[in-house]
C-alpha cells in the first residue's frame, strides 16, 4: 500500500475501540484513604533501676531494639524485607492505580495513562543483555537517571504514584512503576499484560545505566535494530508491536521537543498507530523544531523519524501491515512483548 491515503474520511481512519472495561469516572470518587500507620513494633517497657531485669528479658529487649533498627534502616534505604513485599495486596494496588488515571481532567487528554506507560517503558528499556545492566529492577530512575534527557517529564508519573507507594509500603518502586504501566494499558482498553511482583529497589544510584541507552527519535531503522534487537533482545515483530504503544499519548515541546499525538484516540489502546501510519499521507512539518512528520490532511497528527522508519524499512513494514489489519494479532503481540519488556534483567 502506498503512503497516500484517501483524503475523504473513512471509518478505518478512526479505529477508536471502546475500552473493554467500562470506564469509571474517577473524578468524583472520594480521595484515597490516608495511608495506614507503619506497623508498630511493641517494645517491652525499659527496665527501671529498681526493677530486677532477668537476662532473658534483656535479651528480648535487645533483639527487638535491633529489629526496630533494622526495619528503620531497611525503610530508609528501600531494602524492604521480603515479608513486607509478600503481604502486599496487589489487587488493591491495581485499583489505586486505576483510580488516579483520570484524576485531573485538564491533564493532557484527560488521562495519566500514557505517561505511566512511558515511565514503565523507560524504567525497563535501558536493559543491556550483554552486560545484564539496566532494566526495571532497582527503580534506578529515583537517582541521577531521572536527569537523563530521555526521561524529561517522567517526574509527573513518578510523583503521581508516590501516594500509592506510601499507602502500600511493601511494594517496591520497581514493581509499582511496571505494574502502573500494565494497569494503564488495561484500563485504556488494551490487552491483559502478564505481570508478576519480585523486583527490588536499589539502595543508591550506583546501578544506574549510562545516559543514552533509550532510543533517539531522530534516527533510522538501523538504530531501532541496535536498541531493540541487539541490545534488549527483541525480535523485529516484537519491536514493532512495542512501538505500537504510540497509539497512546503525545509529544510535549517542553519534554522531548516534539509536539502532538500520533492518533486521534490518545487515551485508547489499540492498533490506531499502525492504521494512521499506513492510511495518512505524511510530510515533513515546516517549523523551527526538530524534524517530525505531520499528516497532510489536517496536520493534527504527528510521527517521529523513528516511527516513519517502521514503514520505510521492509523488514519492519510487514509487521506494521499485519497489525494495522489484525487488531487481535496486535493485542496478543503487544501483551507478550510488553510483559517481556517489564521483566528484562529481573531475577524472580
Residues contacting ligand HEM: total by CB under 6 A? 24
Provide, rounded to whole angstroms, the least separation between the CB of residue 307 and ligand HEM.
Answer: 8
Backbone angles phi, psi at 141, to 5 degrees: -70, 0
For residue 258, state whether it binds ligand HEM (rule: CB under 6 A). yes
Among 121, 195, 262, 282, the active-site one is 262
Indicate the SS3 state at residue 183. helix
For residue 277, state whether it binds ligand HEM (rule: CB under 6 A). no
Among 13, 90, 220, 256, binds ligand HEM (CB under 6 A): 256
CA distance 331 to 348: 25
Do the beta carbons of residue 241 and residue 330 sit within 8 Å? yes
For residue 153, state whether it binds ligand HEM (rule: CB under 6 A). yes
For residue 240, state whether it binds ligand HEM (rule: CB under 6 A). no
Q: Catalytic site residue 122? A: yes
The residue among 96 and 160 lying less far from ligand HEM, judged by its C-beta, is 160
Report which of 340, 138, 109 is spatially closest to residue 242, judged by C-alpha positions: 340
Do the beta carbons of residue 217 and residue 256 sit within 8 Å? yes
For residue 169, state whether it binds ligand HEM (rule: CB under 6 A). no
**Which residues in the 291-320 window bind ligand HEM by CB under 6 A?**
304, 306
Cell numbers of 6, please?
A: 484517501
For residue 158, state whether it binds ligand HEM (rule: CB under 6 A). no
Where do runs of H (alpha helix) occur along the chain?
A: 55-76, 82-86, 90-100, 113-124, 155-167, 173-187, 221-224, 236-243, 272-279, 305-312, 314-325, 327-342
For residue 335, state whether it binds ligand HEM (rule: CB under 6 A). no
Q: Catalytic site residue 282? A: no
For residue 285, state whether it binds ligand HEM (rule: CB under 6 A). no
Provide, rounded to whole angstroms, the least separation between the CB of residue 28 and ligand HEM.
Answer: 24
Among 160, 242, 301, 303, binds ligand HEM (CB under 6 A): 242
Query: Would strands 282-284 and 302-303 be described as parallel, antiparallel, or unpaired?
Result: unpaired
Among 165, 250, 285, 317, binds ligand HEM (CB under 6 A): 250
For residue 101, state whether it binds ligand HEM (rule: CB under 6 A). no
For residue 243, state whether it binds ligand HEM (rule: CB under 6 A). yes
Query: Would strands 302-303 and 293-295 be described as parallel, antiparallel, or unpaired?
Result: antiparallel
The residue among 118 and 199 lying less far from ligand HEM, judged by its C-beta, is 118
CA distance 67 to 16: 54
Report which of 201, 205, 97 is spatially closest to residue 146, judged by C-alpha positions: 205
Among 122, 177, 246, 282, the active-site one is 122
What is the sign of the dihedral through the CA atoms of 291, 125, 150 and 173? positive
Helix axis angle for 155-167 and 173-187, nearest 10°, is 110
**Which residues in the 106-135 window bind ligand HEM by CB under 6 A?**
114-115, 117-118, 121
Report which of 221, 209, 191, 123 is spatially closest to residue 327, judged by C-alpha positions: 191
Where do runs of H (alpha helix) occur along 77-154?
A: 82-86, 90-100, 113-124
Provide, rounded to whole angstroms, the least separation between the CB of residue 217 and ligand HEM.
Answer: 4
Provide, rounded to whole angstroms, the least separation between the CB of residue 184 and ligand HEM.
Answer: 8
Q: What is the number of the residue whose Cβ is closest to ligand HEM?
A: 249
Among 97, 171, 188, 217, binds ligand HEM (CB under 6 A): 217
Catalytic sites, residue numbers: 122, 262
Interacting residues with ligand HEM (CB under 6 A): 114-115, 117-118, 121, 153, 215, 217, 224, 242-243, 245-246, 248-252, 255-256, 258, 304, 306, 338
Amino acid at each position: 500500500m502506498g503512503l497516500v491515503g484517501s483524503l475523504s474520511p473513512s471509518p478505518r481512519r478512526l479505529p477508536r475501540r471502546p475500552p473493554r472495561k467500562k470506564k469509571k469516572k474517577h473524578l468524583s470518587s472520594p480521595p484515597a484513604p490516608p495511608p495506614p500507620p507503619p506497623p508498630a513494633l511493641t517494645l517491652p517497657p525499659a527496665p527501671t533501676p529498681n526493677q530486677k531485669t532477668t537476662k532473658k528479658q534483656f535479651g528480648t529487649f535487645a533483639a527487638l531494639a535491633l529489629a526496630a533498627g533494622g526495619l528503620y534502616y531497611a525503610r530508609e534505604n528501600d531494602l524492604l524485607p521480603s515479608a513486607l513485599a509478600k503481604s502486599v495486596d496487589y489487587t488493591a494496588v491495581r485499583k489505586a492505580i486505576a483510580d488516579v488515571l483520570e484524576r485531573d481532567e485538564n491533564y493532557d487528554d484527560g488521562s495519566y495513562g500514557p505517561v505511566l506507560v512511558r515511565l514503565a517503558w523507560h524504567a525497563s528499556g535501558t536493559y543491556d543483555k550483554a552486560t545484564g545492566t539496566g532494566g526495571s529492577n532497582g527503580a534506578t530512575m529515583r537517582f541521577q537517571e531521572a536527569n537523563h534527557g530521555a526521561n524529561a517529564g517522567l517526574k509527573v508519573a513518578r510523583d503521581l504514584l508516590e501516594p500509592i507507594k506510601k499507602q502500600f509500603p511493601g511494594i517496591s518502586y520497581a514493581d509499582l512503576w511496571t505494574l502502573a504501566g500494565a494497569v494503564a494499558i488495561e484500563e485504556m482498553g488494551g490487552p491483559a499484560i502478564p505481570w508478576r511482583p519480585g523486583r527490588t529497589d536499589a539502595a543508591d544510584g550506583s546501578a544506574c545505566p549510562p545516559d543514552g541507552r533509550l532510543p533517539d527519535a531522530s534516527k533510522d531503522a538501523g538504530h531501532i535494530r541496535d536498541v531493540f534487537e541487539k541490545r534488549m533482545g527483541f525480535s523485529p515483530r516484537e519491536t514493532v508491536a512495542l512501538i505500537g504503544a504510540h497509539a497512546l499519548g503525545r509529544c510535549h515541546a517542553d519534554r522531548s521537543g516534539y509536539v502532538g499525538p500520533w492518533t486521534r484516540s490518545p487515551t485508547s489502546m489499540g492498533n490506531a498507530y499502525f492504521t494512521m501510519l499506513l492510511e495518512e499521507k505524511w510530510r515533513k512539518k515546516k517549523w523551527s523544531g526538530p524534524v517530525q512528520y505531520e499528516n497532510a490532511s489536517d496536520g493534527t497528527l504527528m510521527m517521529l523519524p523513528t516511527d516513519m522508519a517502521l514503514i520505510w524499512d521492509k523488514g519492519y513494514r510487514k509487521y506494521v501491515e499485519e497489525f494495522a489489519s489484525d487488531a487481535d494479532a496486535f493485542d496478543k503481540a503487544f501483551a507478550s512483548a510488553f510483559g517481556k519488556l517489564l521483566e528484562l534483567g529481573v531475577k524472580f
